[in-house]
Amino acid sequence: MTQAPPLPSNDSVQRVSAALAAARHPHAPQMLDSSARTAQQAADALGIVVGQIAKSIIFRRKSDDAAVLVVTSGDRRVDEKKVGALVGAIGRADADFVKAATGFTIGGVSPVGFTRAPVTLIDRELLRFDEIWAAAGHPHAVFRLRPQDLERLTGAPVEDVVQAPKEIA
């Protein structure tokens, strides 16, 4: 069995580790040998299905420039109209906005450990799984949790925020 690479000492991973420890979450961040910038890359590295990846998508609320985090299942696409109906009109967030508003870079946005707490929604599709994995502040860092843990850690509501899956003919 190979040993996982050590966690980087960067501020982002340390914030996530501290948030998880403060919440007494049983699973600390761990490093993957390969990048997990996409849900598929993370799933492949962990040997799980892509839906078990809790991907963090940041939007910008138009009325006040607040960051809006949608934590969604890796095999689903966010429906921006559904999100907008819940939190107000939203737009895309570029890399500079994501970093300034959350303290994370795209590819490592965690659902916990923010420099400023975003408005957060959890995709109900994550409840299909007993175990999920989320980014931990770095493109190679992830942590294990249950969907119920995500609710407890973020205090966010579980909502229908994704597009209907396309049927394969």
Q: In the chain, what are the domain boundaries?
A: 11-154
- Give the CATH class of 11-154: alpha beta
Rounded Cα distance between 19 and 105, Å, is 18
Q: What local confidence, expressed as pLDDT, does residue 36 receive? A: 74
140-162 residue pLDDT tens: 999 999 999 999 999 999 999 99
List, for residues 37-93, the tens digit of each pLDDT value. 788 989 999 999 999 999 999 999 999 999 999 999 999 999 999 999 999 999 999
Q: How many CA atoms lie within 13 A of 25 on its CB side?
A: 25
Of the pLDDT bands very low, low, confident and very high (cuts 50, 70, 90), residue 6 is: low
Task: Name the residue with tokens 């175990």.
Answer: 131
* pTM, two decimal places: 0.90
Alpha-carbon distance 18 to 59, whole Å? 25
> Is the pLDDT at 163 greater than 60, yes or no?
yes
Other beta carbons less than 10 A from residue 130's beta carbon: 9
Q: Identify the bridge partners of residue 145 per DSSP, sorted by sequence position.
A: 132
The pLDDT value recorded for residue 8 is 54
> CA-to-CA distance for 62 and 91, rounded, in angstroms?
7
User: Residue 7 — pLDDT band, cuts 50, 70, 90?
Assistant: low
